[in-house]
Structure 1
Amino acid sequence: MNSLNAIAMSGLNVALKRADASGNNIANAQTPGYRRETVVPVEDAGGGVSATVAALPEGDGLDQLAADMVEQMSSVYLFKANLQVVKTHDQMLGALLDLRA
């Protein structure tokens, strides 16, 4: 089993990939022939998550710009939640070391 810190760090990486993909979609929204990207998260067996970036089919029927803006906000919240886990882990480890020192 991975450590709590490693699991949270994998979540941070996925949040960054989601922000990158949606930002890329927003930047290239008016580019002819551009295919939007999405991030596909996959649960790791030992804990945590990994992700791959995949191209969406053209004309997926969604309001693309609005969906990408929501994805930007969602990835920020995902990043903040995983960062809080890392901070809490560090605080707990520091408290444990203070007890043992």
Structure 2
Amino acid sequence: MSLTTHGAVTAPLGTTTAFHWVLTVQTANGGIHTLSGGTYLRPGQSRAEVFAGLLEQAATVLATQRPVVLFFSLERDELTPADRLDNGTGVRQ
């Protein structure tokens, strides 16, 4: 996993799925930080594994030992036609 966006992450070999994540934490000094990015997950990889890895990386990046998680989101990085403003037609509705 990486704290960078998909544009800077190369998909690993094999079958993987792109996900986008957002993590907001509070550090011991009271600072609130939101980190986000993209990652590619192996089939069968759990949310708990992803969360633990991202939290560990966030602690390293923010130079803090135990950040308090305020928000975490992990979603597939794709829009279905129903999610798009044009409803998949190519014409804005």
Assess same fold via TM > 0.5: no
**Greater strand share, 1 or 2?**
2
Higher helix share goes to which structure? Answer: 1
Taking structure 1 as the reference length, what is the TM-score of the superposition? 0.25
CA radius of gyration, larger in: 1
Higher relative contact order, structure no. (Cα contacts within 8 Å, ≥ 6 residues apart): 1
